[in-house]
């Protein structure tokens, strides 16, 4: 009987030892739950804006003014036949990368400010010993704009950048490729107001190619002229 009493007295002590870690776990759970809202609050900071960005000004101008003018001028039967802008490609070649690799980083930063979009680094396709260039070596950067950014860039190019060119008298109306695409070049990137003249390392030129859906050069010329493109008369 004494042995049975001892065994009964020992049994209640065992669950108390097992309950001790469980009590500690329950005490730790509220701490983890209290930390969870902090992560959610941090993740909620970079949320998208509630108000969407307004449409591009030239996009609205194209639909309301340019399309009726071109239909009346060329006699299109449907709106889908009216030529439109497809994309604008900006290309900047940087040959100094063979001696200093930081030059490419500065060129990419300047183009990102001008276009409002991160550019892509272009690489050499072939090795050229005279220029100390190997295949796959970075030689420049480019960016392709479509949609609202395309219209916004064209708006800044025509109304702000071109008037800031020294001794500007208009662009040539013959730089079409015969398929409705137009290309032009600039010697300095400081014509854009986004570039601070005091913070650049050197002057760089760039090529701008405007791709349209026009089938002939006359239609593409009329399309760009409707956007008040400053052609030489």
Measured from the Cβ of residue 161, the count of other Cβ atoms closer than 10 Å reads 21
**Confidence at residue 56, expressed as pLDDT on a 0 to 100 scale:** 85
Between the CA of residue 230 and those of 11, 33, 138, 161, 233, what are the distances in Å? 97, 64, 34, 12, 9
**Confidence at residue 91, expressed as pLDDT on a 0 to 100 scale:** 93
Closest by alpha carbon to 90, among 167, 156, 160? 156
> Consecutive sets of 10 residues in the chain, 233 residues long: mean pLDDT of each?
49 50 50 49 57 82 94 92 94 73 85 91 81 78 93 93 89 88 91 87 89 93 92 81
Between the CA of residue 134 and those of 123, 128, 139, what are the distances in Å? 9, 6, 10
């Amino acid at each position: 009987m004494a042995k049975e009493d001892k065994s009964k007295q020992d049994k209640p002590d065992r669950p108390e030892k097992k309950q001790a870690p469980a009590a500690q776990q329950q005490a730790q759970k509220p701490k983890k739950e209290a930390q969870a809202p902090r992560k959610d609050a941090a993740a909620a900071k970079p949320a998208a804006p509630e108000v969407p960005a307004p449409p591009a000004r030239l996009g609205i101008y194209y639909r309301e003014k340019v399309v009726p003018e071109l239909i009346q001028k060329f006699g299109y039967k449907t709106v889908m036949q009216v030529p439109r802008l497809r994309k604008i490609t900006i290309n900047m070649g940087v040959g100094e990368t063979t001696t200093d690799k930081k030059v490419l980083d500065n060129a990419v930063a300047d183009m990102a400010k001008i276009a409002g979009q991160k550019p892509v680094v272009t690489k050499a396709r072939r090795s050229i010993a005279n220029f100390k260039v190997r295949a796959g070596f970075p030689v420049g950067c480019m960016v392709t704009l479509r949609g609202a950014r395309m219209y916004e860039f064209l708006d800044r190019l025509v109304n702000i950048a071109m008037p800031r060119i020294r001794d500007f008298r208009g662009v040539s109306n013959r730089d079409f490729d015969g398929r409705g695409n137009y290309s032009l070049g600039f010697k300095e990137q400081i014509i854009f107001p986004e570039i601070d003249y005091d913070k650049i390392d050197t002057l760089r030129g760039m090529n701008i190619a405007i791709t349209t859906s026009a089938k002939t050069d006359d239609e593409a010329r009329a399309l760009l002229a409707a956007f008040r493109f400053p052609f030489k008369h």
